[in-house]
């Protein structure tokens, strides 16, 4: 204990000033309480439990340097220390196009059915057939309401007319008492999911990004608006990115842990930028142990993830599926990250029409839009083969993808084809 208290003065004397810097401290099952007593001397902290261990979030008035963090990690009671870094939603904002609410329709969704005329603006209309082959896949299945997909993002407009029938509802909380944890899962009033940005039971989307991703996965096939990859599914909104589109490592870890507790089948993650952190990797490993696929956007920096990893897509965990973006011509989108050894598959991500908050529709571009196409395809597969493991699902995606010369140098496989994926027709 004395050594830890002494360290406080050493840290404050040597580290650079930074108001209210936060760190995630993983506590060991033994000696964790002793470590907390020491952390009190360094600043304010809060604690939270997950299915994979106990954490303290330490708020200091000065940055910890590398040597300081390593010293802490060698103390009894502390497993590791991560900076509570910031992650962001991954759309390409300058290619958003607003559309009137009564205008969107299936015929504008080139990612599902590319006619050659609907794949983009006039100067790059697209190429017929460069899509995920959705209609043939729907001949096999449109999904099932027993499949649960977590959209971990900025929240979801769960009242959107194209989404509300496919939102997972916690019936015990819905029929329970306000302000009470009726189902005993540790979260109060989580009727439609949870908000870890504001720590409450309302994951409503104040940004639009999460609702867009949700629509790609599961907009209902109801003869109005648009269609999702799945016509039937239960989407679990989990918000950790605030209305400004950014969120913390702490929120991401809590969001993944919540999704595990809610026993989802797939986690769809269209965010990144916070760098590598052991706590986030550990959360994804816990999801893998629970049999949950973790679909992740590859990033929008037009860079090689083999050489410059983008997280969380680049963690070496077998349930992670890293997704790049293609345009309506079947070529890598100009912004999309890539990686022959690190990006598993490409899916439509340029000029994608989907739902947004306020019951509206909008076109957005980004690997953010590509990832939910893959999440939805996995959901379709699980309606047929529910016992597949995440690594079996990932390997089948790679095997069944349509190989394209234009993508050969960019990924392990090629373009997502939902029908081949369901039929296992890859060679």
Residues taking part in catalysis: 153, 209, 368
Query: What CA–CA distance (Å, rounded) separates 18 from 384?
Result: 52
Within 13 Å, how many C-alpha atoms sit on residue 208's CB side?
Answer: 15
Beta strands 194-195 and 232-239 are parallel
Query: What CA–CA distance (Å, rounded) separates 107 from 206?
Result: 28
Sorted by sequence, the CB contacts under 8 Å of residue 148 that are 6+ apart come out as: 168, 233, 234, 235, 236, 262, 263, 264, 265, 266
Strand, helix or coil for residue 116: coil
Q: Which of 259, 286, 287, 255 is nearest to 271 (CA)?
A: 255
What's the Cα-to-Cα distance from 170 to each of 174, 190, 211, 291, rounded to whole Å? 6, 7, 19, 21
- For residue 254, report the phi and psi dihedrals to the nearest 5 degrees: -65, -40
Give DSSP secondary structure letters for 179-199.
TS-TT-SS-TT-SS-EETTTT
User: Which tokens hold the place of 304?
Assistant: 């090689």
Sorted by sequence, the CB contacts under 8 Å of residue 332 that are 6+ apart come out as: 324, 325, 326, 338, 346, 406, 407, 410
């Amino acid at each position: 204990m004395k050594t830890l208290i002494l360290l406080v003065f050493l840290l404050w004397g040597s580290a650079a000033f930074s108001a209210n810097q936060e760190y995630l401290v993983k506590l060991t099952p033994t000696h964790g309480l002793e470590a907390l007593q020491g952390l009190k001397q360094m600043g304010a902290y809060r604690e939270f439990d997950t299915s994979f261990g106990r954490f303290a979030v330490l708020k200091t008035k000065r940055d910890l340097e590398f040597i300081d963090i390593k010293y802490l990690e060698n103390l009894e009671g502390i497993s590791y220390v991560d900076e509570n870094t910031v992650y962001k939603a991954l759309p390409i904002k300058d290619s958003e196009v607003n559309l009137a609410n009564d205008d969107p329709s299936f015929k504008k969704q080139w990612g599902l059915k590319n006619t050659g005329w609907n794949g983009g603006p006039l100067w790059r209309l697209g190429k017929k057939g460069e899509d995920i082959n959705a209609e043939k896949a729907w001949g096999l299945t449109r999904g099932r309401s027993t499949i649960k997909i977590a959209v971990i993002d900025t929240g979801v407009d769960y009242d959107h007319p194209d989404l509300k029938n496919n939102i997972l509802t916690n019936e015990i909380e819905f029929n329970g008492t306000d302000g009470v944890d009726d189902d005993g899962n540790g979260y109060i009033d989580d009727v439609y999911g949870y908000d870890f940005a504001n720590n409450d039971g309302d994951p409503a989307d104040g940004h639009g990004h999460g609702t867009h991703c949700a629509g790609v996965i599961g907009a209902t096939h109801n003869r109005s608006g648009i269609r999702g990859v799945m016509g039937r599914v239960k989407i679990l909104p989990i918000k950790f990115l605030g209305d400004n589109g950014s969120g913390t490592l702490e929120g991401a870890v809590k969001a993944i842990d919540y999704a595990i507790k809610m026993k989802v089948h797939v986690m769809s993650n269209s965010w990144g930028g916070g760098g590598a952190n052991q706590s986030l990797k550990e959360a994804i490993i816990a999801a893998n142990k629970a049999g949950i696929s973790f679909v992740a956007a590859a990033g929008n920096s037009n860079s090689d993830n083999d050489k410059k990893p983008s997280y969380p897509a680049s963690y070496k965990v077998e349930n992670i599926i890293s997704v790049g973006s293609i345009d309506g011509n079947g070529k890598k989108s100009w912004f999309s990250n890539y990686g022959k050894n690190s990006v598993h598959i490409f899916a439509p991500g340029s000029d994608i029409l989907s739902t947004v908050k306020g019951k509206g529709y909008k076109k957005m571009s980004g690997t953010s839009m590509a990832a939910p196409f893959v999440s939805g395809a996995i959901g379709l597969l699980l309606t047929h083969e529910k016992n597949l493991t995440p690594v079996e699902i990932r390997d089948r995606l790679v095997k069944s993808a349509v190989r394209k010369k234009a993508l050969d140098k960019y990924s392990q496989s090629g373009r997502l084809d939902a029908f081949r994926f369901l039929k296992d027709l890859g060679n």
